[in-house]
Amino acid sequence: MTEIQNGPDIKIPEERALLLMQLYEEVFPQVAKFAANRGGTFDDAKDIFHDALVILYEKATDEKPVYESPKRYLVGIAKHLWLRKFNHDRKKVGLDEMERTITIPEDYFEPEESRLTSLLELTGRKCLQLLRAFYYDSLSLERIKTTFGFSTAHSASAQKFKCIEKMRNIIQEKSMGYEDFA
Amino acid sequence: MRTLRETKEIDRYLLGKMSIASRLLFEARLLIDPTLKLRVEWQQRLYSIIRSSGRRQMKSEVVRIHHHLFSDPDKREFQSNVFQVFSKK
């Protein structure tokens, strides 16, 4: 279930840009108004909205309310992010029934390993691209096969595990080098 | 091939795809095999790095859209709708 309202598919990069653009145009003014009414700035609204779009994307593969009404869902995520950021009184924000069911991914605000992430993005670009397609974008094996030009689904899957081992070895070297001397 | 099999096992363990029996067995092995335990930790770190990298990429995609919408003269109505909201203060 990756399709949102029979329209463009958020999981396909070319269609995603179109869909995100539509959502941005239609929903951002609403979020901006919400933020402004509560003393927020343009940048507050923008930051929250950008995170909300990322989270919407992550949820789009498996949560029903997302593809039933992506716009309302997006507003709901933004409200939750607002509550979190400004510690506002829940009652004053007024979440409806659907909005109350929304959760923000637990690790979303955990600090990322930015040095290691940048290093792997640099040295293992191809592998990381492939692994993102599998693990972050949750693309089907078939789609990955075509996108990355593998001859069979099996070879795509084999390459995935080679990449995991390669990247894991880099992480191992780095963590040994930095801390595990004792 | 031994490592490949193990990598696949770790994958299934971390993604919660193991049956209860296999998971318990695997966790018992973790207790007695410190190297396996480390490999699980590194692989888990890799998965969170993949997520960070995916999020970075999505964010930059969104930022591109933002720039487009706020610089395209055809989107003037959208722009003024948004700015109006903040100028009332």
**Chain centre distance of CA A53:** 8
% residues pLDDT > 70 (chain B) = 96
Contact with chain B for residue A44, Cβ under 8 A: no
- Amino acid letter at B34? P
Which pLDDT score, from 0 to 100, does residue B89 have?
53
Select from A136, A133, A135 the least CA-distant residue to A144. Answer: A133
Select from A171, A68, A45 the least CA-distant residue to A120. Answer: A171
**Looking at the predicted structure, is the pLDDT value of residue B3 above 70?**
yes
CB contact under 8 A, B56 and A175: no
- Residues near A130 by Cβ (< 8 Å), separated by ≥ 6? A144, A148, A156, A159, A160, A163
CB contact under 8 A, A32 and B59: no
- pLDDT tens digits for chain A (182 residues)? 444 445 677 777 778 889 999 999 999 999 999 999 999 999 999 999 999 999 999 998 777 777 778 899 999 999 999 998 887 666 677 788 888 888 999 899 988 888 999 999 998 999 999 999 999 999 989 999 999 999 999 999 999 999 999 999 999 998 876 554 43
CA dist A86 and A39 (Å) reads: 10
Q: Chain B closest CA to A19's CA: distance in Å?
A: 11
- Amino acid letter at B33? D
CB contact under 8 A, B38 and A116: no
Scanning every residue of chain B, which has its alpha carbon at the shortest distance from the alpha carbon of A51? Answer: B59
Q: Report ipTM for this prediction.
A: 0.89
CA dist A157 and A110 (Å) reads: 30
- Amino acid letter at A152? T
- Residues of A in Cβ contact (< 8 Å) with B17: none
The three-point CA angle A109-A58-A175 to 5° equals 50
The three-point CA angle B38-B44-B49 to 5° equals 125
